[in-house]
Amino acid sequence: MKNNWPLWEVFVRSKNGLEHRHFGSLHAADAEMALENARDVYTRRNEGVSIWVVASKNITASNPENNGELFEPAQDKVYRHPTFYSLPDEVKHM
């Protein structure tokens, strides 16, 4: 049998208060093993306090070919940013 261990994506929270961040990937036969492997591979230097693993095949990703329609329309919505609004310097705490 040549049944290869599937690929998992590993997300690690480095300390409480921070989000889980993508650290990399690894192979494991099941979720439990993926978690253990992630602990052994990605937190050898005390890098984390919490780990998520997700089977790579379960990730749905946007296609870069659609980046134009997906992301460019947001570029000119300058009114979403605070700098769009001019206020006199005397106004504090805003």
Q: What are the C-alpha distances in Å from 86 to residues 30, 56, 77, 91?
A: 55, 46, 16, 11
**Residue 76, CB half-sphere, CA atoms under 13 Å: how many?**
4
User: How many residues at the interface with other proteins, by CB under 8 A?
Assistant: 26
Binding piece for other proteins, criterion CB under 8 A, among 12-20, 58-66, 69-77, 85-93? 58-66
Q: Which of 15, 18, 21, 24 binds other proteins (CB under 8 A)?
A: 24
Binding piece for other proteins, criterion CB under 8 A, among 3-11, 12-20, 68-76, 85-93? 3-11
Find the helix or strand (DSSP H, E) in which 13 lies.
strand 7-13
For residue 34, report the phi and psi dihedrals to the nearest 5 degrees.
Answer: -60, -40
Q: Which of 13, 14, 20, 33 binds other proteins (CB under 8 A)?
A: 33
Q: Which of 13, 41, 52, 54 binds other proteins (CB under 8 A)?
A: 41
